[in-house]
């Protein structure tokens, strides 16, 4: 979990005092943030969505312990099953490395689910969570040259003025050149079964 998560939740409530505030997490690191996080969630009237990615017995037990801890503190909690089929946003080459699609940006944008899922990564604000992760992976050298197209997109930095944030996230709708990395049609794949041990290594 982000080291400043408690502050982020408080600031989110300050910015949107009346809106529904939801923290989504797989629950694996909740115990490291409690009890202070519990206090923050209560004070900010936040809810928690526990995304269930774990299928081994230890993972199921850990998720249930997190749910009980949250509900015991009076925090509304919902478990969202996420261990079945996943949407595919990249594929693997013969060498086993992830590769982007080479789609028509307009077509990829039309089928896109995350295109309104803004993402804060490495203190930069992105229009799309898929692009954020791909851009960071390319920048850090974890992804090959096929992902260089992600550099055509410039995320917002912390000093961006409010009008630029509104323009960038809400008014500048439509496909970007970097949208080519996603598929033109929704593709489902069987989920990679995550265990508590493997999740701890991620």
Q: How far is CA 168 from CA 22, 58, 160, in A?
A: 23, 43, 10
Predicted pLDDT of residue 198: 45
Say yes or no to pLDDT of 177 above 80.
yes
Helix (H, G, I), strand (E, B) or coil at 137: helix
> What are 120-135's pLDDT values in tens digits?
888 899 988 899 999 9
Round to whole Å and give the CA distance between 87 and 185. Answer: 10
For all residues of the chain together, what is the average pLDDT? 85
- Strand-pairing partners, residue 41, are none
Domains along the chain with CATH numbers: 5-85+192-201 (3.40.50), 89-186 (no CATH)
> What are 70-113's pLDDT values in tens digits?
999 999 999 887 655 677 888 888 888 899 999 999 999 888 87
Predicted pLDDT of residue 201: 43
At 190, the pLDDT band (50, 70, 90 cuts) reads low
What percent of the chain has a predicted confidence (pLDDT) above 70? Answer: 89
**Could you tell me the pTM of the whole model?**
0.65
């Amino acid at each position: 979990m982000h080291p400043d998560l408690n502050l982020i939740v408080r600031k989110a409530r300050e910015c949107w005092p009346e809106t529904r505030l939801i923290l989504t997490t797989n629950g694996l690191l909740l115990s490291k943030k409690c009890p202070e996080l519990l206090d923050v969630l209560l004070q900010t009237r936040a809810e928690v969505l526990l995304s269930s990615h774990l299928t081994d017995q230890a993972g199921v037990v850990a998720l249930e312990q997190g749910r009980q801890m949250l509900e015991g503190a009076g925090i509304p909690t919902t478990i969202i099953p996420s261990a079945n089929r996943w949407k595919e946003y990249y594929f693997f080459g013969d060498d086993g490395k992830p590769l982007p699609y080479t789609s028509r940006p307009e077509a990829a944008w039309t089928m896109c689910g995350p295109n309104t899922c803004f993402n804060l990564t490495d203190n930069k604000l992105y229009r799309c969570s898929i692009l954020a992760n791909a851009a960071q992976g390319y920048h850090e050298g974890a992804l090959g040259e096929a992902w260089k197209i992600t550099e055509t997109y410039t995320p917002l930095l912390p000093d961006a003025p409010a009008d630029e944030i509104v323009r960038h996230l809400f008014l500048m709708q439509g496909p970007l050149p970097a949208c080519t990395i996603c598929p033109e049609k929704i593709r489902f794949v069987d989920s990679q079964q995550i265990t508590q041990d493997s999740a701890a290594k991620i």
